[in-house]
Structure 1
Amino acid sequence: MNKIVRLEDLGLKDYKQTWEYQESLFNAIVDLKIKNRREDTHLPTPNHFLFVEHPHVYTLGKSGDFDNLLISEKQLAEKGATFYKVNRGGDITYHGPGQIVGYPILDLDNFFTDIHKYLRLLEEVIILTLADYGITGTRSEGETGVWLDVGTPFARKICAMGVRASRWVTMHGFALNVNADLGYFDNMIPCGIRGKSVTSLNVELGVNRVDMGEVKAKIKKHFADLFEAELQQTTSAIQNPATADRATT
């Protein structure tokens, strides 16, 4: 069981480019697992964790309802935003600057083969991170992600989650609002759930900006602890235009 996780911080990257990069890492792990089974070998499968910020983009999960996007293609362009239908679970969500997006691409055979436990641990990573700032994050029954003030008229979501898993290999992940422009959420029904709002860490703390690097450091610590993983910082091929094409094809 390989519990080393290669950590890459991609900075601000286009959603489609990052999605293709995720797919390349995901497919490489799946292909190695198939090879190991076919040839009765035991080559260790790698694990990855990508941090990224995206330019304004709306994504719709495979079971989502397109009607939850409330603006037209023309209005998307006017707002400098894009839209993609993707192969994760969940409904519609928004990504943009000021949001920490995390994509763990893990072979769960290296950890545990329980997708529900995986989602609960991802939520716990964010709950513990929020607790470091004195904020009580909780789960909302039947609604994946992390919320504040669940069970009250003021319930609001601070972190969305949606994953894909095949052969116990994961991709996609979470999006934590840290310094997000919440106005972009008005253009959709967040996660397809009516009557509930969204929030951002800086809003909850009453400050203009929260240090993104500090939040990432807390997420890394809690992820390593909960998954009993060793995070190793690496440089990604996606950051090098000369090799990015090879990494995403």
Structure 2
Amino acid sequence: MVKHRKIVVKQLGLIDYKAALAIQETCYVRLLEQKSGSFTITQPHPAPCGYLLICQHPPVYTIGRSGSIDHLLVDPAILQAQAITLHHTNRGGDITYHGPGQLVVYPIIDLEKFFTDIHRYLRLLEACVIEVLAYFNIEATRLLGLTGVWLKANETKKQLDRKICAIGIRVSRWVTMHGLALNVNNDLAPFNQIIPCGIPKAVTSMQKELNKSISIMTVSDILEQNILKKLNSV
């Protein structure tokens, strides 16, 4: 295990999607400069090998590289009246929704400092979320062939498979961008206007599953520590 791997955590609060993307890109460029040797830190501390950006967004639909505008089920003109913006972005995946009460985490990580395996990285993010949900007594899992975190169908309660956390990333020169969006207390109605991630399955939240509001800061703290622990244990 490599020692002294520093990951800088930045709490961005409620921030516009494009503003958060600009911060992601700044961190991404900084890591690439370090890899190429064109950027040096004069302080005696080790240079960061990653950043963890934690935030919430005002209402926004984002469409990834493989996404289709056909998965937006309403006329884009309607979104202005709803105060929901729409952005095409360079992450993987299809269309999803972000809004207040949803916890968004963007790890900007130089995977060469940890492991060079994109599938392993995705599974690590999923495992972090699954363990956090277990802390709140929500039994979550993966579904075969589908990225993200899910709650399985329950015939007794007449519940279908439903997604609670979406994951979409971009990796270039082994530096990651984008990340995960965990539904905590956010309004789920906007998901009815899309085919989330291009998959016609239901969406849920921690609040809906537990029938009570959850402290998003508590969830944030636990998830942050879990991600850092898992990355630094490899």
* Superposition TM-score, scaled by structure 1 size: 0.85
Structure 1 residues 24 and 53, CA gap change in structure 2 (3 angstroms):
same
Inter-partner Cα distance in structure 2 for 1:18 and 1:115: 23
Matched, 1:218 2:222: yes
Structure 1 residues 99 and 215, CA gap change in structure 2 (3 angstroms):
same
How far apart are residue 32 of structure 1 and its match?
Answer: 2.2
Secondary structure at the residue paired with 2:37?
Answer: helix
Q: Is the 8 A contact 2:6 2:48 kept in 1?
A: no
Matched, 1:199 2:200: no
Structure 1 residues 169 and 15, CA gap change in structure 2 (3 angstroms):
same
Q: Is the 8 A contact 1:140 1:150 kept in 2?
A: no
Question: Residue by residue, what CA displacement relative to the aligned partner does 1:61-98 show, whole Å, maximum 9, x if unpaired?
Answer: 10111100112222110110101110000110100000
How far apart are residue 226 of structure 1 and its match?
Answer: 1.3
| Stretches (4+) displaced over 6 A | none
Inter-partner Cα distance in structure 2 for 1:151 and 1:65: 30
Amino acid corresponding to residue 65 of structure 2 in structure 1: K
RMSD over equivalenced CA pairs, Å: 1.6
How far apart are residue 44 of structure 1 and its match?
Answer: 4.3
Runs of 5+ in structure 1 lacking a partner?
A: 37-42, 230-249
Of 153-162 and 27-36, the range deviating more from structure 2: 27-36
How far apart are residue 3 of structure 1 and its match?
Answer: 1.9
Q: Which residue of 2 aligns with 1:131?
A: 134
Amino acid corresponding to residue 164 of structure 2 in structure 1: I
Alignment of 1:132-147 (within 5 A): 132-147=135-150
Q: Is the 8 A contact 2:6 2:47 kept in 1?
A: no
Inter-partner Cα distance in structure 1 for 2:175 and 2:225: 22
Q: Between the two proteins, what is the percent identity of the paired residues?
A: 46
How far apart are residue 54 of structure 1 and its match?
Answer: 0.3
How far apart are residue 218 of structure 1 and its match?
Answer: 1.2
Q: Which residue of 1 aligns with 2:97?
A: 94
Alignment of 1:40-55 (within 5 A): 44-55=47-58
Alignment of 1:210-249 (within 5 A): 210-228=214-232
Number of corresponding residues: 221
Inter-partner Cα distance in structure 2 for 1:75 and 1:32: 44
Q: Which of the pair has the greater relative contact order for Cα pairs under 8 Å at 6+ separation?
A: 1
Inter-partner Cα distance in structure 2 for 1:24 and 1:175: 21
Of 178-187 and 212-221, the range deviating more from structure 2: 212-221
How far apart are residue 14 of structure 1 and its match?
Answer: 0.3
Q: Is the 8 A contact 1:45 1:107 kept in 2?
A: no
Runs of 5+ in structure 2 lacking a partner?
A: 39-45
Question: Residue by residue, what CA displacement relative to the aligned partner does 1:29-73 show, whole Å, maximum 9, x if unpaired?
Answer: 11221237xxxxxx8453100001000000001011110011222
Inter-partner Cα distance in structure 2 for 1:228 and 1:34: 23
How far apart are residue 185 of structure 1 and its match?
Answer: 0.4
Inter-partner Cα distance in structure 1 for 2:89 and 2:36: 24
Inter-partner Cα distance in structure 2 for 1:227 and 1:24: 22
Question: Residue by residue, what CA displacement relative to the aligned partner does 1:132-178 show, whole Å, maximum 9, x if unpaired?
Answer: 01111100111100000159761000000000001110010000000
How far apart are residue 221 of structure 1 and its match?
Answer: 2.3
Amino acid corresponding to residue 223 of structure 1 in structure 2: I
Inter-partner Cα distance in structure 1 for 2:37 and 2:9: 25
Secondary structure at the residue paired with 1:46?
Answer: strand
Q: Which residue of 2 aligns with 1:239?
A: none
* Superposition TM-score, scaled by structure 2 size: 0.90
How far apart are residue 117 of structure 1 and its match?
Answer: 0.5
Alignment of 1:157-172 (within 5 A): 157-172=163-178
